[in-house]
Amino acid sequence: MNRGVLVTGASRGIGRAVALALAAGGDRVAVHYATRHEDAEQTLTALPGTGHVLVRGDLSEAGAAHRIAEDAERALGGVDVLVNNAAVAPTAQSTHRVAEASFAQWQDVWRTTLAVTLLGAADLTYWVARSMLERGTRGSIVNVGSRGASRGEPDHPAYGASKAALHSFGQSMAVALAPHGIAVTTVAPGPVATERQGEQLAGATGEALRAQSPFGRVGTPEEVAAAVVYLASPDAVWASGTVLDLNGASYLRA
């Protein structure tokens, strides 16, 4: 399509798969990363087509979202699609069960998670949407949420809450931006086989996660990417405001 696309957290995992899928469709992709420069370079090298760039920035830092948006706009000649994928993922190290975590750990995980997963996405959406409005672009914004927003995350409550807020934020923006022809949607994956989840998917924990789905497995980054590609397309404008569950029937909302 030859659109300018900004994918946050695209150094690996779901973000890399999304970047690859959009580039395969002819889009020019800004690969955002915070610290994993080598991984981001690998993503960039793997992208088909031309015109792709790296954009660095820590979304938890004040002013970073504005710089990231400006860098992507300048390099691509405008951002037509924003994919808010960057997040603080739930890991064994970030576990913060209320009955076990110290208050200092509790505070640290909550603030770090909200700063990137929710506030970073909100700030970046603001700057990209404002640019779309100024240019008269009928673009798309796709947020990467989580099954945990509805199912609950007792071991990682900050993650579940941040994703639930991201879902709600996306729906608010869908209503706000529809008069300008900008569609906003969200995908809500269940467990996905990414590098960051390798430890969790091993052994008995992995068996339990796979057993949650009647398919007997977890999702793949490519399956999430396929949904993002559709929701970012002009054909999906009427889906604006939707939260698309991608969890292999492991959790069904009423």
**Residue 131 pLDDT:** 98
**Residue 90 pLDDT:** 85
Mean pLDDT of the chain: 95
66, with CB counted inside 10 A (0-12, 13-18, 19+), is: middle
242 and 170 in contact (C-beta within 8 Å)? no
Q: Which amino acid is at 51?
A: G
Give catalytic status of residue 146 as yes or no: yes
Measure the CA angle with vertex 189, ends 203 and 142; round to 5°: 145
Which stretches of 50-192 are DSSP H helices?
A: 64-76, 103-113, 121-135, 148-151, 157-177
Per-residue pLDDT of 196-234, as tens digits, reads: 777 777 777 888 889 999 999 999 999 999 999 999 999
Per-residue pLDDT of 164-202, as tens digits, reads: 999 999 999 999 999 999 999 999 999 999 877 777 777
Q: Name the percent of the chain lying above pLDDT 70.
A: 100
**Residue 46 pLDDT:** 98
Q: Say how far apart CA 78 and CA 236 lie, in whole Å.
A: 21
Strand (E) or helix (H) holding 209: helix 203-211
* Confidence at 253, pLDDT banded by 50, 70, 90: confident
* Confidence at 92, pLDDT banded by 50, 70, 90: confident
pTM of the full structure: 0.95
Q: CB neighbours (10 Å) of residue 194?
A: 22
**Residue 97 pLDDT:** 93
Find the catalytic residue in 11, 131, 163, 240: 163
**Residue 204 pLDDT:** 77
**Residue 200 pLDDT:** 73
Give catalytic status of residue 233 as yes or no: no
Find the catalytic residue in 140, 146, 150, 240: 146
Backbone angles phi, psi at 33, to 5 degrees: -150, 165
**Residue 93 pLDDT:** 84
Q: What is the mean pLDDT of residues 27-43?
A: 97
**Residue 202 pLDDT:** 77
Q: Say how far apart CA 29 and CA 20 lie, in whole Å.
A: 9
Ranking 42-46, 134-138, 206-210 by mean pLDDT, the lowest is: 206-210
Strand (E) or helix (H) holding 254: none
Q: What is the mean pLDDT of residues 82-102?
A: 93
Per-residue pLDDT of 140-150, as tens digits, reads: 999 999 999 99
20 and 46 in contact (C-beta within 8 Å)? yes
pLDDT at 61 over 90: yes
Q: Say how far apart CA 186 and CA 143 lie, in whole Å.
A: 5
Helix/strand/coil for 140? strand
Find the radius of gyration of the CA atoms of the chain. Answer: 17
4 and 30 in contact (C-beta within 8 Å)? yes
Helix/strand/coil for 53? strand
DSSP-derived letter for residue 11 is: S
Find the catalytic residue in 159, 162, 240, 250: 159
Q: What is the mean pLDDT of residues 61-89?
A: 97
DSSP-derived letter for residue 12 is: S
Write down the architecture of domain 4-246 according to CATH.
3-Layer(aba) Sandwich (3.40)
